[in-house]
Every structure is written in structure tokens, then in C-alpha cells.
Amino acid sequence: MPTTKFQKIVFAFLTVFITVHLFVFYNLAIEMGGMSNQVFTAAWTVVPIEFACAILLEIFIASPLSERLAFRVADPKEAKPYVATTVIICATVCLMCPMMSFLATAFYCGFSPEFLAQWMQKVVFNFPFAFFTQLFFIQPFVRVLFRRLFRRQLAGQKECPLASEHESDAASVESAESIAARD
């Protein structure tokens, strides 16, 4: 989907913005014993910090590594687009979930002798949530939103070769008609 550096950053921003909110709500609900209005009020202090960490991890570590890992499994030139996309999503979840669970453990529980156990527990709780929300909700939604935001640029990329072919065909027809009219 994204082809330019700017588009990749916007795509990452949209994905991380939605994901961080969902995960902060999810992890706070677990820590507080269930969903309540307190989860939403407590989330606003954590969201900006987690967002900053997540966007940096996504842009500089997870995105480049997930593409490398994914392209070892599915060649983007040969694989169907949905297969390549699914493999990239899975690789990103495999990288981001442990990293963000580590940060969430540090934010919510602090560093203690039980840190490793708490971190592993967060990974176990967060991984299924991350996998299914990314695969079936967040990524499809972000892709629709991205296509709407970059409609003109994406349409221009797809229509340029076709437009030049049609223009050359139209020019050929016009020149053939003008030659026929002279005769």
C-alpha cells in the first residue's frame, strides 16, 4: 500500500495510534480487574508515552525487520497480495508484542524481582489480542482509511501507465483518421 517514505510514516502513525489506544485500554482493564470508566480516565496519562515509544519502535525496528522476515516466507513478487500482507502483519505482531509488553510491564508494574514473570504474562495475554485485532480489525480499517487519505496519489500511481497507453492509442486513432480524411 504505502510506496513513499511519507506514506509509510502516515500508515505507521495510523496503525500505532489505534493500536496503542486499544492496548492501553486492554492492559489497564486487566490491571484494574475489568473494564470500567476508570480505565478510560487512567489511559490518558499512559497513551502519549506508549504512543511515542510504539511509533519509534514501529518505524525504526519492527517495520524494517518485519518486512525482511516476511519476505523470507513469502516473495512479494510471486505471492498473492493478501498472503504477503498477512505475513507482514504476523511478523510485525511477533516483533511488536514482546517489545510493547516489556514497556507495559515497566509502566504498570515497575522493575521488581517478578519483572520477567510479569513480562511473560503480558506477552501471553497480549499476543492473541494483538494477532486477532491486527489481522481482522486494525489493519483492514487502517488500509481503508489510508486509501481514502491517499486516493489521488494511489489512483495516479495506478492510472499513469494506463493513461499514457490510452493517450498514445487516442493519438494513433486521430492520426489515422486525419490520414484517411486526406485521402
Asked whether residue 49 falls in the same domain as residue 66, the answer is yes
Look up the domain containing 174 and give its range.
Answer: 154-183
What's the confidence (pLDDT) of residue 86?
93
Asked whether residue 48 falls in the same domain as residue 136, the answer is yes
Asked whether residue 182 falls in the same domain as residue 129, the answer is no
Give the predicted TM-score (pTM) of the model: 0.79
Give tens-digit pLDDT for 120-179: 999 999 999 999 999 999 999 999 999 999 988 877 765 433 333 333 334 433 444 444
Asked whether residue 71 falls in the same domain as residue 109, the answer is yes
Give tens-digit pLDDT for 80-123: 988 989 999 999 999 999 999 999 999 888 999 999 999 999 99
How far apart are alpha carbons 57 and 64 in whole angstroms?
10
Closest CA to 54 of 9, 89, 103, 126: 103
Helix, strand, or coil (residue 145): helix
